[in-house]
Structure 1
């Protein structure tokens, strides 16, 4: 897929320099990251990576929205999380040197950065700040997944949608998120495990509660703490 003009406005190197983990790299380290990292444009519905493949890169979302999910033998889809612009993922699988345990699919046309595994491991060996970043990343991801198991089992759909939206405001995992979420009701349904129609009903409930406002093409978050606490 060819990137659109909107996607081409910011160069890959400029995006890399703006990441949290790059801010304390040395000039030499940053030069290698820029030389080795490549970009890929994936259309809506396309696979960024597939379950069972050998992991060869650490992956970042420059622009767009992706989901990590699996299909059961019966064909039921289970979504683990969504990753918005500014988020990076796959470090756990790289560290364990395993095959990938999940699919990653673009929910909209997305621009993706791929840092080769060798470069990733070299940063681990040469950069203490990068190691500290990854410790935080893994800790935040673990907390996110524990929370998802909890609200998937204990909360109704309205509360699941509220927590799903709130989870996109983790400043470490998704530093590029602002209070106007450019996300569709269909995408919210994918991320929260609900149909588009049921996600729409949940958004109406949350809007009446004064937690958000549904606008054309996006959702304005009015009370983030309220979303995090919301429960029926």
Structure 2
């Protein structure tokens, strides 16, 4: 059961209409999307989707924060990316018609939009702007994952935390991100593979560099390009 929504929470219909991919849809296409897309609630720590399950929907985050992970052959948890409100994911598995290759878990209580696979495929067949959006989405995701390999293998913790925060501001994957990033140090730790205490130290370093300011309720990003380039 979905928890009741307060007046301040965005409606699913409004989130759909404000999505980048919706801007090129016809009124008829938008009407079908609104009629067939549903909302699900996932509590903190719960699975948004699981590795190996059939992929029956394209998913978007209405509210909340989630991480995409997998296990290495040695049993180590590998985080591919964090995803905040506005992110849509799962198009690769839908296009390849294969079981899901990763887990997505909620780092806080999250509201998830689920567009049925049949609706997704219909948009792909009938909307050229939607197809163009997906090409950009796949290209941005590829670039993000290539960066994550470098970030995991080559960078120290301070730099990993900087890149982790900067990655949350990809204008295509996460449109509408606010300079005040409402994320906890524990959540940053989950995404960057560091302890909360080590994240705290890294944030102090980045704050001294003038790249961010740790505020009550979140982290205020002051120099996004600086975060992207930072290397200790």
Shorter-chain TM range is over 0.9
- RMSD (Å) for aligned C-alpha atoms: 1.3
Query: What's the TM-score once normalised by structure 2's chain length?
Result: 0.97
Mean Cα displacement is larger for which, 1-10 or 184-193? 1-10
**CA positional deviation for 1:72:** 3.4
Task: Name the residue aligned to 1:5.
Answer: 5
2:217 aligned with 1:217: yes
Task: Name the residue aligned to 1:22.
Answer: 22
CA distance in 2, matches of 1:51, 1:154: 27
**CA positional deviation for 1:73:** 5.0
Query: What's the TM-score once normalised by structure 1's chain length?
Result: 0.97
Cα offsets for 1:164-211 (capped at 9, x unmatched): 100110000000311000000000001111111111111111011110
Please say if residues 3 and 111 of structure 1, whose CA atoms lie closer than 8 Å, have aligned partners that are also in contact: no
Please say if residues 7 and 63 of structure 1, whose CA atoms lie closer than 8 Å, have aligned partners that are also in contact: no
Alignment of 1:143-154 (within 5 A): 143-154=143-154
Number of residue pairs aligned between Structure 1 and Structure 2: 232
CA distance in 1, matches of 2:122, 2:191: 33
**CA positional deviation for 1:27:** 1.0
Task: State the SS of the aligned residue for 2:172.
Answer: coil
**CA positional deviation for 1:76:** 1.9
Task: Name the residue aligned to 1:183.
Answer: 183
**CA positional deviation for 1:3:** 2.7
CA distance in 2, matches of 1:131, 1:186: 37
**CA positional deviation for 1:24:** 1.2
Please say if residues 7 and 111 of structure 1, whose CA atoms lie closer than 8 Å, have aligned partners that are also in contact: no
Gaps of 5+ in 2: none
Task: State the SS of the aligned residue for 2:21.
Answer: coil
Please say if residues 10 and 62 of structure 2, whose CA atoms lie closer than 8 Å, have aligned partners that are also in contact: no
